[in-house]
């Protein structure tokens, strides 16, 4: 009913729901950003049918709201705590990545990924920026952890988003054909049939 209007009524409705649920979460002594995930699950079928709404909403959120959240989270980081806790940060980062490998790597074998594609997928799945930073900020604002502990946790979270991704892109990034050939048997045929036509069009 409201689609394609210049006033973007559906976007305003989404922000009304977001801010309303965020206020309720804050009143309940939780993080205001968490209801956004629940709302996303509820409206996912609508978004799947209208990609324009998704694009407009994403543009607004990433351009306006997200920077303020990460600026707030970043300004609470103490550089001295990063320097003094460097060894602990490295140890926690290794533990975090190891747990991700334990959880993801066997599944890549189960779904018959190649060695390179399996490693690439596992490394990309080692990230946890959003929920990690949210939980750390929640702990700090509620007095569960102090600023030094917050700094160490946030640094680990940020490192887990940067380090595995950099390694994956530098050493294990597959080409389109490698990705299609990385699966074996019938899976390879299915992926190849969907990818090769697009490759042909790009070459033309």
3-state SS record for the chain? CCCCCCCCHHHHHHHHHHHHHHHHHHHCCCCCCCHHHHHHHHHHHHHHHCHHHHHHHHHHHHHHHHHHHHHHHHHCCCHHHHHHCHHHHHHHHHHHHHHHHHHHHHHHHHCCCCHHHHHHHHHHCCCCHHHHHHHHHHHHHCCCCCHHHHHHHHHHHHHHHHHHHHHHHHHHCCCHHHHHHCCCCHHHHHHHHHHHHHHHHHHC
Q: Are residues 86 and 55 in the same domain?
A: no
Q: Are residues 70 and 87 in the same domain?
A: no
Q: Are residues 89 and 143 in the same domain?
A: yes
pLDDT of amino acid 183: 54
Q: Count CB-CB contacts under 10 A for residue 73.
A: 18
Instruction: Give the number of C-alpha atoms closer than 13 A to the C-alpha of residue 144, restricted to the C-beta side.
Output: 10
Which residue, 75, 100, 118, sits at the end of a domain? Answer: 75
Q: Are residues 110 and 44 in the same domain?
A: no
Identify whether 189 is part of a domain. Answer: no
Q: Are residues 30 and 95 in the same domain?
A: no
Predicted confidence (pLDDT) per residue in 75-115, tens digit:
888 888 899 999 999 999 999 889 989 999 999 888 888 88
Q: Are residues 129 and 65 in the same domain?
A: no
Identify whether 108 is part of a domain. Answer: yes
Predicted confidence (pLDDT) per residue in 36-59, tens digit:
888 888 888 888 888 888 888 888
Identify whether 186 is part of a domain. Answer: no
Q: Enter the tokens of residue 184.
A: 């074996």
Say which residue, 150 or 182, is predicted with more confidence: 150
Q: Are residues 129 and 93 in the same domain?
A: yes
* Domain that residue 130 falls in: 79-173
Q: Are residues 131 and 53 in the same domain?
A: no
User: How many domains does the chain contain in total?
Assistant: 2
Identify whether 149 is part of a domain. Answer: yes
């Amino acid at each position: 009913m409201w689609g394609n209007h210049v006033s973007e009524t559906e976007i305003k409705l989404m922000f009304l729901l977001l801010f309303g649920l965020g206020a309720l979460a804050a009143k309940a002594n939780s993080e205001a950003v968490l209801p956004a995930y629940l709302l996303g699950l509820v409206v996912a079928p609508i978004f799947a049918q209208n990609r324009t709404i998704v694009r407009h909403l994403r543009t607004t959120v990433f351009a306006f709201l997200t920077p303020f959240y990460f600026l707030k989270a970043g300004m609470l980081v103490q550089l001295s705590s990063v320097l003094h806790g460097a060894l602990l940060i490295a140890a926690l980062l290794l533990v975090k990545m190891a747990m991700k490998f334990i959880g993801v790597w066997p599944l890549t074998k189960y779904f018959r990924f190649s060695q390179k594609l399996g490693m690439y997928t596992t490394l990309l799945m080692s990230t946890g920026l959003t929920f990690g930073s949210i939980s750390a900020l929640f702990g700090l604002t509620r007095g569960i952890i102090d600023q030094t502990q917050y700094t160490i946790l946030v640094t680990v979270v940020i490192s887990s988003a940067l380090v595995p991704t950099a390694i994956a892109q530098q050493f294990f990034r597959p080409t389109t054909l490698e990705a299609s050939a990385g699966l074996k048997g019938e899976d390879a045929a299915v992926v190849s049939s969907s990818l090769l036509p697009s490759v042909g069009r790009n070459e033309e």
